[in-house]
Copies of this chain bind each other. A is one copy, B any other.
Amino acid sequence: MSKRKALISAAKDLLWEQGFEAMSPKKVMRLSGAGQGSLYHHFEGKEHLASVALAEVSDELFSLSDSTFDPEKPPMDRLYDYLMRARPELKGCKLGRLVSDKTIIESNICKTIGAYFAHIEGHLSQALKDAQASGDLPHYLDTSAMSKTLQAVIQGGYILARGSQNPEQMAQAQEGAWVMLEALSAHNS
């Protein structure tokens, strides 16, 4: 593996484990086995490296979500699979975890995160509309608002789990969301 790839890989790991602030160039170097020279030859600096690493992470998460929201699947299955998927409760969302960082918010990396959120929201919104069209959910529901709500349940579940140091918090947040959705669906039939 080239040093460039090793650096990106190490950065991805550290960004997820420790966040942007804590991802120091030295840690990246140690974890990747590359020296200072390689880092600053391939990247303009820490922020640039993080930007490239997170673009890769974003790609991976896009793929994962596109598979979860496969339009061939019945809409309620898509919603179930998204809501109930096993998640790294205590580590957090690889992108959402970073929004508390000031540098991230003020940089272009923020756009990567926003684009990811918008992508998921689009999938959720579509699934909810499809569920209405197929008669699984009542038409009076505001699918645009609900798509943000369901996405927020996941991002918030990570926060609760980390704050309590208890993975179960995420599991219950997920479960509760599905229960509510299912109840709305049942009432509609």
Contact surface of A with B, Cβ cutoff 8 Å: 18-19, 21-22, 92, 95-102, 105, 110, 113-114, 116-118, 138, 140-142, 144-157, 159-160, 162-166, 169, 172-177, 179-181, 183-184, 187
Contact = CB atoms under 8 A, between A and B. Distances in A.
B160 A159 contact: no
B117 A175 contact: no
Given A22-B102, A180-B141, A152 B160 contact: yes
B153 A160 contact: no
Given A146-B180, A156-B156, A159-B159, 18 more contacts: A22-B102, A99-B159, A100-B162, A105-B162, A105-B165, A110-B163, A117-B160, A142-B179, A144-B172, A148-B157, A149-B174, A150-B176, A152-B153, A152-B154, A152-B159, A153-B153, A156-B157, A180-B180
A98 B162 CA distance: 10
Nearest to A175: B145
Contact of A176 (B149, B162, B174): B149
A99 to B, nearest CB: 4
A160 B164 contact: no
A165 B100 contact: no
Contacts of A97: 100
A184 B155 CA distance: 23
A177 B184 CA distance: 12
A179 B175 CA distance: 18
